[in-house]
Amino acid sequence: MLLEVRDLSVSYGKAVALERVSLEVARGEFVAVLGPNGAGKSTLLKAISRACPSTGTLRFADESLQALPAHAVVGKGICHCPEGRRLFPELSVLKNLMLGAYLRKDRAGIEADLAAVYELFPVLRERAPQVVSTLSGGQQQMVAIGRALMGRPSLLLLDEPSVGIAHRLKLEIFDAIKRIQRRGTAILMAEQDAQSALRVADRVYVLEHGQVGRSGTSAALRADDSIRQAYLGVD
């Protein structure tokens, strides 16, 4: 396993956000975490990237993450594309992308990864000198995903990449994420749009009130009547 999460718990003061969550992501696998607002999806991704304190076991490539600070987690190969994108709106597309490579010194590798991001999202090459605040929401999401890829992750954490994005761009973004997986990067994606997530992910965990409810392959969950009714709006 690339990522192993066992009995992960997170509390904000007295409020329990995650309670004994266990999940796994294999090398190169695409796993989605579904669940309604407030289920704990963002907290789960933050705990994995060590952006918030947690208890339990977090192992990545056979090493414990629990003792590491957030910046060291990036160095291990986990890049987090957070909810709300957290870009620098007054900096150019190119500068935002390059910030994702801030820990790296391998110039040739950085150039190659920048070319790969432009291949994935050609509009970003055209807009490279433009300040990010002038882009559409969907294009900003592409910059955020591209920035995370500039850290050359073996695991990409994506927090609701489709939120607030027009339908056409949303399909383009999910398609690009699938291509990122095909290039060999494992993906753990939090998503509220169950229909889209079940189309692209290999496996899915459903979070409810901070706990894992259902889990299984996308094919199995798509065929499950209770999932169809609760998440896909189909009777």
Closer by beta carbon to ligand ATP, 21 or else 124:
21
- Looking from the CA of 220 toward its CB, the CA atoms found within 13 Å total 9
Point out which span in 32-40, 68-76, 97-105, 140-148 binds ligand ATP (CB under 6 A).
32-40
Q: Is 83 in the site for ligand ATP (CB under 6 A)?
A: yes
Min separation Cβ 78 and ligand ATP, Å: 18
According to CB under 6 A, which one of 29, 35, 50, 85 is a site residue for ligand ATP? 35
CA torsion 148-64-216-138 (nearest 10°) is -10
Which H or E run contains 199? helix 194-200
By the 10 Å C-beta count (0-12 exposed, 13-18 middle, 19+ buried), 175 is classed as exposed
Q: Is 85 in the site for ligand ATP (CB under 6 A)?
A: no
- In whole angstroms, what is the distance from residue 110 CA to residue 136 CA? 26
Closer by beta carbon to ligand ATP, 4 or else 19:
19
Point out which span in 24-32, 40-48, 108-116, 218-226 binds ligand ATP (CB under 6 A).
40-48
Could you give the 3-state DSSP secondary structure of residue 25?
Answer: strand
Q: Is 161 in the site for ligand ATP (CB under 6 A)?
A: no
Which spans in 91-191 are helix H? Answer: 93-99, 107-120, 122-126, 137-149, 167-182
Q: Is 15 in the site for ligand ATP (CB under 6 A)?
A: yes
Point out which span in 1-9, 35-43, 67-75, 174-182 binds ligand ATP (CB under 6 A).
35-43
| Amino acid letter, 68 | L
Q: Is 196 in the site for ligand ATP (CB under 6 A)?
A: no
Q: Is 38 in the site for ligand ATP (CB under 6 A)?
A: yes
Q: Is 147 in the site for ligand ATP (CB under 6 A)?
A: no
Min separation Cβ 80 and ligand ATP, Å: 13
C-alpha separations of 32 from 100, 107, 111, 128, 190 in Å: 23, 33, 30, 30, 6
Point out which span in 30-38, 69-77, 98-106, 173-181 binds ligand ATP (CB under 6 A).
30-38
- In whole angstroms, what is the distance from residue 195 CA to residue 234 CA? 11
Site residues (CB under 6 A) for ligand ATP?
12, 15, 17, 35, 37-43, 83
